[in-house]
């Protein structure tokens, strides 16, 4: 078995001011690629520099998560392996610097994997970790993206105006990571955006923008969002055109819009998490009932 210390490579160890860790993982926790898109956006606009990376060899089934071949300058073939990279952003004027982790949910050895992340957080004296996630939900693309934040610590819930998660069921690497943080006394919070389940558009810039807005509010550091706003406008226009070409989908979106408006009036937050099968069954039921003679 490989020594866990050899699985993480540090490239530099900058001096950071009371850093907050922001993490997002491609895969189960990343509907519409919104969470990883949001985290990568923050790393880019904050000019974050890579400080560490996790060796993928011990954590992935490469038949399930295959490496990608890319051409450099149209000639040289380069293999891109699943990445888990830590980048540090020094943010002048903000109360905290930030470590951004953008990764891919591993297939195996989750405890060892999360242990590496927790060790990295302790090494830089991180006191708060924030994870970004995105889930499929029965929400319309034409309304503001619902975002909810959860935490397990009562004091943190009150300080950040979040809520305690009541979800029970299968979890992803985000859930395991929060459990590992709690075991080491590191406060953590989780932010989730709802992505329309009837769309296969990726990445979803609208959900990513909602996550960025919430994250920078919790961190207390501004971030440029002009390109995300432009991408969101283009996304909404493109999706609305697609929906308008299908009367059945258009009718279903109108139903979701009425539900979203009712939730807004009642000040409800994110809809309950449902499985992809349950959401597909709901859409099929709607279409079936709509076609039945009255």
**Cα gap 109→86, rounded to integer Å:** 19
Strands 49-54 and 85-89: antiparallel
- Parallel/antiparallel/unpaired status of strands 128-137 and 147-151: unpaired
In 3D space, the residue among 121, 115, 120, 87 whose CA is nearest the CA of residue 102 turns out to be 87
What phi and psi, each to the nearest 5 degrees, are found at residue 202? -135, 145
pLDDT truncated to tens, each residue of the chain (294 aa)? 567 778 999 999 999 999 999 999 999 999 999 999 999 999 999 999 999 999 999 999 999 999 999 888 877 889 999 999 999 999 998 999 999 999 999 999 999 999 999 999 999 999 999 999 999 988 999 899 988 888 877 777 877 777 766 777 888 999 999 999 999 999 999 999 999 988 877 899 999 999 999 999 989 999 999 999 999 999 999 989 888 888 888 888 888 888 888 877 765 554 444 444 444 444 444 445 555 555
- 174 within 8 A of 133, measured Cβ to Cβ: yes
Q: What is the CATH number of domain 4-291?
A: 3.40.50.10900
Q: Indicate the burial class of 176 (C-beta count within 10 angstroms; 0-12, 13-18, 19 or more).
A: middle
The rounded distance, in Å, linking the Cα atoms of 79 and 184 is: 36
């Amino acid at each position: 078995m490989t020594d866990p210390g050899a699985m993480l490579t540090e490239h530099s160890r900058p001096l950071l001011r009371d850093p907050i860790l922001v993490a997002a993982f491609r895969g189960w926790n990343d509907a519409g690629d919104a969470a990883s898109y949001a985290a990568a956006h923050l790393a880019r606009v904050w000019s974050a520099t890579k400080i560490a990376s996790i060796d993928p060899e011990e954590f992935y089934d490469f038949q399930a998560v295959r490496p990608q071949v890319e051409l450099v300058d149209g000639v040289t073939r380069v293999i891109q392996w699943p990445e888990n990279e830590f980048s540090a952003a020094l943010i002048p004027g903000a109360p905290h610097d930030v470590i951004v982790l953008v990764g891919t949910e591993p297939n195996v050895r989750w405890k060892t994997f999360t242990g590496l992340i927790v060790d990295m957080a302790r090494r830089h004296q991180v006191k708060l970790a924030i994870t970004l996630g995105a889930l499929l939900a029965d929400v319309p693309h034409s309304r503001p993206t619902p975002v909810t934040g959860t935490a397990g610590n009562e004091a943190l819930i009150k300080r950040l105006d979040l809520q305690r998660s009541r979800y029970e069921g299968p979890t992803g690497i985000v859930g395991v990571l929060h459990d590992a943080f709690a075991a080491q006394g590191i406060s953590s919070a989780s932010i989730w955006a709802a992505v329309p389940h009837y769309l296969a558009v990726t990445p979803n810039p609208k959900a990513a923008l909602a996550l960025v807005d919430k994250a920078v509010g919790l961190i207390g550091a501004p971030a440029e969002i002009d390109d995300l706003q432009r991408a969101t406008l283009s996304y909404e226009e493109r999706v609305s055109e697609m929906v308008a070409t299908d009367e059945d989908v258009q009718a279903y979106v109108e139903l979701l819009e009425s539900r979203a408006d009712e939730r807004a009036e009642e000040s409800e937050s994110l809809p309950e998490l449902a499985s992809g099968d349950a959401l597909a069954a709901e859409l099929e039921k709607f279409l079936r009932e709509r076609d039945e003679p009255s």
